Amino acid sequence: MRGLRIAGGLAALCLLAATSAQAADAEALRQLVQTCGACHGADGNSPMPEVPSLAGQPKQFITTQLVMFREGRRLNPVMAALTANISNADINALGGYFAALPAMATSAPQSDGHQQAGRARAEQLNCVQCHGAALKGQQHIPRLAGQQAAYLRIQLQGFKAQTRFDMDGNMTSAAQAMTADDIELLATYLAALP
């Protein structure tokens, strides 16, 4: 009888410990997310031209890039400092969190002609083949739809100049065919996509 009661008490204690560990994890994630939100936007949609939105990015893309910042392969002083001591579990949780947030366009569409020209160029240059028909990304390939135009411009110039980190070289080769006019057209076209 007493043995049973003790066993029941122990089981209840274990349950309590498990719940508070989960609560601690949730609180730690909430604090981390708040830090990220200061630059990337509280809802993952960036309010700053040179900071990328994270909302709606494929989880695998977010987690891969965080590891690459942490390992010093993708170079950015701010993101390097922020990821220096981050665990794989936190990276996984952050990836899941931001991937699940709804993405929004960061600028209003320009003329119909501009949108048609942007779409045509994205098809001619095969952007849609890797980034998806709706340019929303897949697996380790980022969402481009709705991304900040200034950020897109900087990254495309970086791939063309071969200074932006590129894990498999695909994006660097894709960027070689782009002229300065293409970069301008695509950056502004993509930023206005839902």
User: Do the Cβ atoms of 14 and 5 come closer than 8 Å?
Assistant: no
Q: Does 150 bind ligand HEC (CB under 6 A)?
A: no
User: Do the Cβ atoms of 183 and 153 come closer than 8 Å?
Assistant: yes
Please report, to the nearest 10 degrees, the dihedral formed by the alpha carbons of residues 33, 76, 72, 90 taken in order. Answer: 0
* Binding test (CB under 6 A) with ligand HEC, winner from 29, 67, 80, 82: 82
Q: Give the Cα separation of 150 and 116 in Å (integer).
A: 20
Q: Does 127 bind ligand HEC (CB under 6 A)?
A: yes
Please tell me the count of residues contacting ligand HEC according to CB under 6 A: 40
User: Do the Cβ atoms of 186 and 122 come closer than 8 Å?
Assistant: yes
* Binding test (CB under 6 A) with ligand HEC, winner from 156, 185, 192, 193: 156
Residues numbered 32-51 forming contacts with ligand HEC, rule: CB under 6 A? 32, 35-36, 38-40, 50-51
* Binding test (CB under 6 A) with ligand HEC, winner from 76, 116, 162, 163: 76
Angle, CA 171 vertex, CA 153 and CA 81 arms, to 5°:
70
Any idea which residue has 């965080």 for tokens? Answer: 66
Per CB under 6 A, residues contacting ligand HEC are: 32, 35-36, 38-40, 50-52, 54, 62, 65-66, 76, 78-79, 82, 94, 125-127, 129-131, 140-142, 144, 152, 155-156, 165-168, 170-171, 174, 178, 186
